[in-house]
Amino acid sequence: MRKYLDVNDTISEIRLLRRHPGSNYFIIVLVEGDDDIKLFRKLINGSLVRIEQPSGGCGSLEIVLNEIGQETDKIIGIRDADFLNLLDGHNSRNDLFYTDYHDMEMTMINNDPTFYAITCEHCSESYDHYKTLRHSVLMALQFLSGIRLINHIDDIGLYLRSFPIGDHLNPSTLEFDKNGCVEKVHMRSKNKKREITVAEVDEICANNYDLYDFTCGHDFKKALAIHMKKLSGTQIGVDSIGCSLRTAFSLNEFKKTTLFCDLNMWENNSNNKLFQTADHL
């Protein structure tokens, strides 16, 4: 049903909610996706918190925040940083918060206890070199991440949604087929403004960006699932990896993030309660 709704439907729903007796005490936290709802319902556990995903696709979160934010201070938004950490493009508003890295998936993947738990869950043997595995996957995806950044900066209309990483990633060695990837990107992008070259992508990758800011979490989950399936010989899906990440990422690990610190500061300054008492953290 959500695909038939737009941002105005979300605004109307929130206004209707706020008209209900006692609802003015609710704190509304806007997030971008279904997986974010599942995760933040666990992490932001105040009894009066409502986690909501605006309808309307990309950009709808800020629209709802702008509109409802004029009527109440009990609404905030959490969005993916995407490439903003690399491009210094954060909005300075005090009711919008960003993930530490590219998205919440990469924030969780960066967390050692969480990623170690994933390898224990999905590998047939104990994965003592989990940090090496994580770095290898990040490096394997560097070329695709470079294409995404070029597309973001230059707005050239490359179609990268649901990109078939498995067509270009060797599941055993994690070697990535750059030429085949570029050809596939061009073939899929019917409305592109221009083509890209392998050399152009290699050049932007040579900037040595922080790989957790550079890499899209969904790409990482895909690549990891492909590699782990090869290692274990069992079916491992992207959704399974995502579910394991959310399960393994505890409240105590969330407390180590910049996002938690920012939310906690907003909570203290606004006298709104996002989290349970310290005893429950």
Residues 117 and 88 in one domain: no
Residues 20 and 79 in one domain: yes
CA distance 205 to 250: 32
Contacts of 247 (CB under 8 A, 6+ apart): none
164, 225 contact by CB (below 8 A): no
The reply to whether the predicted model has a pTM over 0.85 is yes
pLDDT, residue 187, reads 98
Residues 30 and 166 in one domain: no
Give the total number of structural domains in the chain.
2
CA distance 60 to 31: 10
Residues 95 and 111 in one domain: no
Structure tokens at 27: 């704190």
Residues 141 and 68 in one domain: no
Residues 155 and 194 in one domain: yes
Contacts of 153 (CB under 8 A, 6+ apart): 83, 87
Residue-number span of the structural domain to which 124 is assigned: 106-251
Residues 43 and 124 in one domain: no
Residues 261 and 191 in one domain: no
pLDDT, residue 266, reads 95
pLDDT in tens, the chain (281 residues): 456 578 898 899 888 887 877 677 789 999 999 999 999 999 998 888 999 999 887 789 999 999 999 988 899 999 999 999 999 777 778 999 999 999 999 999 999 999 999 988 887 655 668 899 999 999 999 999 999 999 999 999 999 999 999 999 999 999 999 999 999 999 999 999 999 999 999 999 999 999 999 999 999 999 999 998 887 777 889 999 999 999 999 999 999 999 999 999 999 999 889 998 654 44
Residues 110 and 236 in one domain: yes
Residues 144 and 237 in one domain: yes
Residues 188 and 272 in one domain: no
Residues 21 and 65 in one domain: yes
